[in-house]
Amino acid sequence: MKVALVTGASSGIGLACAVAAARAGFSVVATVRSPAAEPAVRAAAGQAGVPVEVVSLEVTDPASVDRCLAAVIDRHGRLDALVNNAGNAGLRTTLELGPLAALRASMEVNFFGVVGVSRAAMPHLRASHGRLVTISSVRGVIGQPFSEGYSAAKFAVEGFMEALAPVAAEVGVSVSLVEPAAVLDTAFIANAPTDPAATPSGPYAAAFDRYRQWVGTGAVEGAQTAAEVAAEVVRALTDDRPAFRIQTSEYARRYVARKLADPDGSAVQQLTRSWLRP
């Protein structure tokens, strides 16, 4: 049985991905940051009627990453897929007001955490000719006001994976980015860090008020469920030739197409892979 490791699986998209991958026939290892979340994940998997193994993982801690990957290989002997989902939304703030420490923290979790787990998984994915799937965001294509740190991290993830994909393909590993828009049935925004001192005020207050109004109305246009996003992740795990860039809805495709003339990334991948061939 193929083995999939899903990070950030305590709720929302990560949990939905773990359940959907198990339903698709994978032996799933779902990671959570806090051991306190393990019973809820097991309960959700049990309710769905699928087995899911739950382990603790802190993506920003290299020792934790190494222990997690070693445990997967010790138990299963292989790894066929990694779904990078762990992350946080970062502060809603702007350059002048947001502390640099918060920006660094966002990059540490949302970018370096993804890179660290992917790096540890890569030898095993290479051995299995496996899949490396990362949950990105439409905010990784079009920067969102007052989400500067999160957008920057997702832009970094997109650039990193776009550069990695043709190299990984040469050693048999398929790399994909999954780009959702708004997902309503998740605690992602509610769990975002807060800092009253960084809340946009003064000359930024009026713009921030308008932004919050947009989030409460326009941002929910095209919103999806976590299960709908997970269905696209399973496609990335199981299709014979998955696209590099996968938007999870027609709304998301239209959204990123405003910036991307190559919405699924195939033209860019064809170009960059051609540089690696004689």
Look at residues 113, 128, 148, 33 and name the one whose alpha carbon lies nearest to residue 81. 128
Tokens of 275: 């540089």
- The pLDDT assigned to 89 comes to 87
Q: What is the CATH number of the domain that holds 200?
A: 3.40.50.720
In whole angstroms, what is the distance from residue 172 CA to residue 88 CA? 30
pTM of the model: 0.93
For 228-274, the pLDDT digits (tens) are 999 999 999 999 999 999 999 999 999 999 999 999 999 989 988 99
Question: What does each of the 278 residues of the chain score in pLDDT, given as a tens digit?
Answer: 999 999 999 999 999 999 999 999 999 999 999 999 999 999 999 999 999 999 999 999 999 999 999 999 999 999 999 999 999 988 899 999 999 999 999 999 999 999 999 999 999 999 999 999 999 999 999 999 999 999 999 999 999 999 999 999 999 999 999 999 989 866 555 555 667 778 888 999 999 998 888 877 766 777 899 999 999 999 999 999 999 999 999 999 999 999 999 999 999 899 889 998 87
Q: What are the residues whose beta carbons fall under 8 Å from the beta carbon of 13, sequence distance 6 or more?
A: 85, 135, 180, 183, 186, 188, 226, 229, 230
Structural domain boundaries enclosing 56: 3-274
Q: What are the residues whose beta carbons fall under 8 Å from the beta carbon of 25, sequence distance 6 or more?
A: 1, 2
Amino acid (1-letter code) at residue 100:
L
The total domain count for the chain is 1
The set of catalytic residues is: 150
Q: What are the residues whose beta carbons fall under 8 Å from the beta carbon of 184, sequence distance 6 or more?
A: 220, 223, 224, 225
- The pLDDT assigned to 113 comes to 98
